A and B are shown apart, each in its own frame.
Chain A
Amino acid sequence: MRHRQMPIRMKGMARHATFAPLAAALIAVCVFLSGCGNGNRIIIGTQTFSEPKILANMYKLLIEDRTNMKVKVMPDLATSTVVLDALTRDDIQMASLYSGIILDNYFPIERTNDRASILKQAQEGFDKHYGLKWFDSYGFENTYAFTVRKELAEKEQLHQISDVKDKAQSMRLGVDTSWLEREGDGYEDFQKVYGITFGKVYPMEVALVYNAIATNKMDIVVAYSTDARLKQYELVTLEDDKHFFPPYDASPVIRKEVLEKHPELQEVIDLLIGKLDAKTMIDLNYEVDVNKRNEKRVAEEYLKKVGLLK
């Protein structure tokens, strides 16, 4: 009799499984329901890669050290868009975001690749339309970078993106899950500006593109410029000779009402503004991504080194 019941019970499970993709799409929402930003506690949300996680941990340490507030870090929100959604819903109160996100149709913008102008538009736009305070940059940008293996770059004399034009048809391109879809600085516009179309394109979780190219599964990948694995695998970044990619300056972003309620935060947040250059950030990322160290430890060690934390 026991056996007879088995198929029926499993069928019931399957009905639930039908809705799993829907659940996956809404998973962020569910996670956020558990969060709350009341009182003296704020939540800093991060994307899936190490850089925003390190930055969030730096702020957690600094804020808890210098104010009487408590900070919770909520890691691994799927994309910057999810992070921004969470911010506007007040599920998280603070995050690190990149100025180029304004290309994703949050409000009307004036197209430009000027670094200062993009940052200014982000600051004004998110202030006006979303009630967010977008700080000045930490001092580094993390933009897209076309990257190849060193030996391929040497063999084919590849220095800038235009150099791959003749070979592109036989190349496998690895990209993150959203680049193909991006308007303005995504694949569609890239093809128009550079006139380059790659033979095969594989979107995947961005953390995998580095290993994929290092192990020859891809010929060229669109990497993130501050990722330490560029250094680890000795990958060569091709110069963006047509200045296609907009700047992606990294800044802390916080809900305005939280800042009004806790003005003491302003001073703490300012501590990192303009203090982290790209090289520093790559080194910190290296500690986490290559040396496999804990983000919090890396953050703490850095803050102590520069004297912000005792």
Chain B
Amino acid sequence: MMDWLSEYASFLTSRQEDILIALRDHIYISALSIILGAIVAIPAGVWLAGSRMGWLNSVVFTIANVLQTIPSLALLAILIPLLGIGRAPAVFALFLYSIMPIMRNTYSGFKAVDPNVMEAARGMGYSRMQRLLRVQLPLSFPYIMSGLRVTTVYIISWATLATLIGAGGLGQLIFSGMGVNKKELIVTGAILAVILALAADFLLGLAEKWVTAKTRSAPASGTV
């Protein structure tokens, strides 16, 4: 056991540089896809929740749903003629996958706001923008964060496939380990991907708590 551990430790030190590059690429690809996804999907969800055009909702959600169901490897393959290989198609594919859960959760959050609360806000003379920012957004915030966390966790795990189209990342360790009979590479890639997903989920959880605490205390200090 100790032999095995020290062997693994010396493997880690000797390959430190490659492992860090793979980790860096992985974080880069996943983070960029999720940020792009959030930029598009949160406003889209807010807008759909406020829109009175029911057919539009179903059209948008159907498209997002269909995108979601395309097998990831197939999507990557389909994107090659359009975007070539490397990071761009990988980020784009993961971005497409991130839209649905973020948008769905944002939409659900906004829809879940009690209409009586909205009525009260309107009665207090809140403008549409004020209702959006001071009432709907804080109330639906847990939903939005939950969507982000879900998305982050699975984008990080799916990004392991990005290496197949030349985008690098932790998948590179896994696939090259499979290619040359080095189990330690596979294990390292897989463990790092799991740790990365758990860490990202944890950090987003902290951020959620922090923001919630902030927004709760703000009105109180104003009124007292």
Contacts and interface: CB of A to CB of B under 8 A. Distances in A.
A164 B16 CA distance: 30
A208 B162 CA distance: 13
Contact of A21 (B84, B111, B149, B157): B157
B181 interface: yes
A81 interface: yes
A7 interface: yes
Interface in A191-231: 202-205, 208, 211-212, 215, 217
A25 B190 contact: yes
A78 interface: yes
A7 B108 contact: yes
Contacts of B154: 13-14, 17-18, 20
B158 interface: yes
B178 A10 contact: no
Nearest to A24: B160
24 contacts: A4-B108, A6-B105, A7-B105, A7-B142, A8-B146, A10-B101, A18-B154, A28-B178, A78-B178, A79-B178, A84-B181, A105-B181, A181-B176, A181-B177, A181-B180, A202-B86, A202-B166, A203-B166, A203-B168, A204-B164, A205-B165, A208-B166, A212-B166, A217-B86
A6 B190 contact: no
A204 B165 contact: yes
A202 B177 CA distance: 16
Interface-centre pick from A18, A21, A82, A181 (highest chain B CB count, 10 A) = A21
Interface in A67-123: 78-82, 84, 104-106
Contacts of A183: 180
Contacts of B209: none
Interface residues of B, number: 51
A152 B182 CA distance: 36
A248 to B, nearest CB: 14
Contacts of B150: 7, 10-11, 13-14, 17
B27 interface: no
B179 A181 contact: yes
A178 interface: yes
B112 A25 contact: no
A24 B104 CA distance: 27
A25 B181 contact: no
A25 B179 contact: no
B176 A208 contact: no
B187 interface: yes
Nearest to B153: A14
B121 interface: no
Contact of B187 (A25, A174, A177, A186): A25
Interface string A23-39: 01100100000000000
A306 interface: no
Contact of B85 (A104, A182, A204): A204
B117 interface: no
B41 interface: no
Contacts of B174: 21, 24-25
A208 B160 contact: no
B163 interface: yes
B31 interface: no
B170 interface: yes
A176 interface: yes
